[in-house]
C-alpha cells in the first residue's frame, strides 16, 4: 500500500483509540455523577450525560468500520491513483 493509505489507516486507528478512551472516561464520569438529580425536574442527570458515553463510542465504531473498509481495499478506488507513482 502507498504512504497515503498507510497514513489514513493509522489515522483511523488512532482516532478510534482516542474516541474509545473518551468513551471510557465518560463512563467513569456517568458512574460518578449520573445519579445526581436535576434541580428543577428531579430527574437523574445520567439520562442526559449518557450521551457523553454513546457519542464517542459510536464515533470509535465509525472509525473502525472505515478502517476495516480501507484495509479490505474499499478506499483504493477513490484515492488509489494518488498513491501510485506516475
29 by Cβ neighbours in 10 Å (0-12 / 13-18 / 19+) ranks as middle
Q: According to DSSP H, which parts of the chain are helical?
A: 3-33, 46-49, 51-71, 76-83
Q: What is the pLDDT of residues 11-46, one digit of tens each?
A: 999 999 999 999 999 888 888 776 778 778 887 777
Residue 75 pLDDT more than 70? no
Torsion of CA 32, 37, 43, 46, to 10 degrees: -10
**pTM over 0.75, yes/no:** no
Amino acid at each position: 500500500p502507498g504512504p497515503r493509505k498507510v497514513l489514513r489507516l493509522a489515522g483511523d486507528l488512532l482516532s478510534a483509540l482516542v474516541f474509545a478512551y473518551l468513551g471510557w472516561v465518560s463512563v467513569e464520569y456517568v458512574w460518578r455523577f449520573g445519579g445526581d438529580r436535576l434541580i428543577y425536574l428531579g430527574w437523574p442527570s445520567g439520562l442526559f450525560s449518557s450521551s457523553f458515553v454513546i457519542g464517542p463510542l459510536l464515533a470509535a465504531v465509525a472509525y473502525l468500520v472505515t478502517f476495516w473498509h480501507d484495509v479490505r481495499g474499499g478506499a483504493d478506488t477513490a484515492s488509489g491513483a494518488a498513491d501510485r507513482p506516475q
